[in-house]
Amino acid sequence: MPKSLTRTLVVALLLSFFPAAGTVAADPDVKTRQIFEKMLSAAMANDRDAFVQFAIDPLKEAITKDVMASVHETLGARLKKGYRSFYLCQLKQRGLAVHLWKLTFKDDGDDVLIRLSLRDGKVEGFFFE
């Protein structure tokens, strides 16, 4: 077998085991996307009530005005300058539907990973790193 054909077969075999780097995950359901967008808008506006609108009670209690101000200062200011969100995937973890998004910003700074944890349409966690 010629070397070029062998090399082509090896590359084709490898590609069949690894998804393409540019592969985009299927979009989340409409309600999940709405919750995500509402929370980002609330972070931009420093609107605690809107941020916790879909949250379970313990999370509502944990998101004090000071915590919300910190979210606004850290994430909201960059969101206001412009961003793009990319849905990555959904994970099943401990009975939760955990949705992951990547945010890129127009300020060309570091990207942010958002982790939104839902159970029965209620937010049990919203983390960004």
Give the chain's domains with CATH numbers.
29-128 (3.10.450.590)
Q: What pLDDT, on the 0 to 100 scale, is given for residue 96?
A: 96
Report how far residue 73's alpha carbon sits from residue 124's, in angstroms, rounded to the nearest whole number.
22
Q: What pLDDT, on the 0 to 100 scale, is given for residue 3?
A: 52
pLDDT by residue, tens only, the chain of 129 residues:
555 443 433 333 333 343 444 445 688 999 999 999 999 999 999 999 999 999 999 999 999 999 999 999 999 989 999 999 999 999 999 999 999 999 999 999 999 999 999 999 999 999 999
Contact 48, 63 (CB under 8 A): yes
Q: Where are the alpha helices (DSSP H) in 46-101?
A: 48-51, 57-62, 65-71, 77-81
Q: What pLDDT, on the 0 to 100 scale, is given for residue 22?
A: 43
**Whole-number Cα distances in Å, 18 to 15, 21, 25:** 5, 9, 15
Number of Cβ atoms within 10 Å of the Cβ of 60: 16
Q: What pLDDT, on the 0 to 100 scale, is given for residue 84?
A: 97
Q: What pLDDT, on the 0 to 100 scale, is given for residue 25?
A: 62
Of 87, 84, 85, which Cα lies nearest the Cα of 23? 87
Q: What pLDDT, on the 0 to 100 scale, is given for residue 72?
A: 95
